[in-house]
Amino acid sequence: MYYLLGIEKNLETIAVVSKSFLKLPSKEASFKELKEAYFSFTKYVQPDIPHFSSEEEQINFVEGGDLLDQLINLFLDNNNLSPPKISGYDFKKIYDDMLLKRKFQLIKNSLDVHKKNNLEHYFLVQLLFSYIFLIQSEGLSCATNPKAMGLLLMDHKEWGIGDICEMFIHETAHQLVSLDEYRHGHYLNLLELSKPENYAISAIRKVKRPLNKVIHSLIVAFEIFAYRNSVAKLNMTVKVHPKTSELKKQIVDAIESIVREKHLITLLTPRANLILELIEQKMLSS
Amino acid sequence: MLDQLVLATQLALENVDANEVKSVMDKAYTRNISYQPDQVNSMINHDSVNALASK
């Protein structure tokens, strides 16, 4: 959404959802107050997420304790599965302190690189995320949950800084899409989304998925595509997403899978249709 | 520079339409994205993506 709409439109959406929770006049609000107002909104719509109040104004890196269990529980497929699963993949908690410290340092270094590459996007990452935590898994790279805004789960693998920066782009896009949905609404009938006849091709996974997931995937894929075009020097080392040429094809295939099925278009609000058209236009001109 | 982004956010807050804020807050539960299918936005490893797509 950042590359699709620009910083001002995204700040406008954050302002609309945060305004009711701001404790000071707008002109007096520091970053800390802005962040607290935003997280008061997320707490309002999602009461199960842990309350966030950071004295340091930064993202918290959660190494263990009850808070880590609470965060992991919000991502579990089902509390009773053994071994526990997230999106169908087995996972384990990490107990190795040295490994955690090393991984968190790499993520902090990546944030510094991200700040140098794109200060506006870095600002959005700092504003929209409250907690980052690590797990071990075979299939996952990272995850966010629209039911638990602000939480970023990352896995323990040996990612490079370029990969982690793309994860920030990927997951921030999900957060911004969800906020845009809260502001404008994207779907005319939520019950229709889970019907297989209303599936389309995901621009990230290349398989049929519910329409809401496909719209998210299109925006995420476009954001990665646009990010790479703006920060070309990182392209060579990134392995977390496909090559740019493949990504471009996946975006085109996903758009086609929606527009060729007229009934799918009728499930989208004018706002979601506008987003689809914007991506189409920008891809044509790329 | 970050200060400028804080200022930009303050400005956005100054300029929001109070009617829109009320409307968005009123609809926040009915528009609650928690009801959408497939909740977690899991980003799976690239080799897992290819394995899925080739099924």
Q: pLDDT tens-digit profile of A34-79?
A: 999 999 999 888 888 887 766 666 899 999 999 999 999 999 887 7
A277 token code pair: 């058209």
Tell me which residue of B24, B2, B49 sits closest to A14, measured CA to CA. Answer: B24
What's at A37, amino acid-wise? A
Residues pairing with A142 in the sheet: A154, B43
ipTM: 0.88
In this prediction the pTM is: 0.94
How close is the nearest chain A Cα to the Cα of B19, in Å?
10
Alpha-carbon span A118 to A8, nearest angstrom: 15
Choose among A7, A157, A209: nearest Cβ to B38: A209
3-state secondary structure of A51: coil
Name the closest residue on chain A to residue B40, using Cα atoms: A145
Write down the residue that tokens 């060729």 correspond to. Answer: A260
Give per-residue pLDDT as tens, A161-214: 999 999 999 999 999 999 999 999 999 988 888 899 999 999 998 999 999 999
Query: Inter-chain contact B13–A212, Cβ cutoff 8 Å?
Result: no
Contacts of A171 in chain B (CB under 8 A): 41, 43
* Interacting residues of A58 by C-beta distance below 8 A, sequence separation 6+: A126
Instruction: Identify residues of B whose CB sits under 8 angstroms from chain A CBs.
Output: 1-2, 5-6, 8-16, 20-21, 24-25, 27-29, 31-46, 48-49, 52-53, 55
Alpha-carbon span A106 to A266, nearest angstrom: 45
Alpha-carbon span A232 to A93, nearest angstrom: 35
